[in-house]
Amino acid sequence: MERITVVKIGGNVIDSPEATARFVEAFAALEGPKMLIHGGGKLATRLAAQLGIESRMVDGRRITDRETLDVVTMVYAGLINKRLVAALSAAGCRAIGLSGADGDAVTSVRRAAGAVDYGYVGDIAEGGVNVELLRTLLDAGLTPVFSAITCDGRGTLLNTNADSVASAVAVAASRIAPTQLVFCFEKAGVLRDVEDERSVIAEITPDTYAALRAEGAISAGMLPKIDGALRAVASGVESVVIKQAEALLDAGGTTIRG
């Protein structure tokens, strides 16, 4: 099989119908086998408010109690996922929408309560991505579209970080064929100066990353994303690219290699 491309999008694409339409056109035009992982954007918060359910966040992370789990499942695995699948199908891409529960695609473990109890939040289990399911879908010419709702294998759905799902799916895909992971971000890439879109760092390796961190050249908010990208590369992913969704088909952005 030729190289697989795994793309992750977040709220900056999902929350804007215009941005979604542009992304769908570009993603459908990507050649070769591909997969899409999406987050949830702001729609779950709006729907929760309409239902009289308070949305609670800690450090930007959603507290997922039982009522909130119902809402995010409806929104992420339902409305957003099917909107994306329908749009991709209209663009000529044979998309199939999935949650982690479908075909045991992505299994996770409920996060233990610590200083904060995040509720029904999952962390990807070791070996938690069903490689053979991915292989079967890709061999059939289908494009899997994953929401970030996973399952613990015992019947409980869990709200899971979409970046983590994307990384785990990319690592699993690398067992099938060389795989590139693309994180679509609001900036043009990893920037030396967050105020200057021209200051994109073209490539990061473990050695250059250590130097960049020592210099304080990367904003603190980007460090977890780069750490995750380096772990994915160390686990078999060919490369990770951080770039804007609008530039999906273009060269550029920041490429992270081992």
User: Whats the size of the chain, residue-wise?
Assistant: 258
Buried b / exposed e over 114-137, threshold 16 CB at 10 Å, is: eeeebbbbbbbbeebbbeebbbeb
What's the number of CA atoms in the CB half-sphere (13 Å) around residue 23? 28
Which amino acid is it at 85? V
CA distance 258 to 255: 10
159 annotated ligand-binding residue: yes
| CA 28 – CA 31 distance, rounded (Å) | 8
Is-contact 228 163, C-beta < 8 A? yes
Burial bucket for residue 95 (CB in 10 Å: 0-12, 13-18, 19+): buried
Q: Confirm whether residue 81 is marked as ligand binding.
A: no
Note whether 212 and 150 are within 8 A (CB). Answer: no
- Residue numbers in the known binding site for substrate are 40-41, 62, 159
- Residue numbers in the known binding site are 40-41, 62, 159
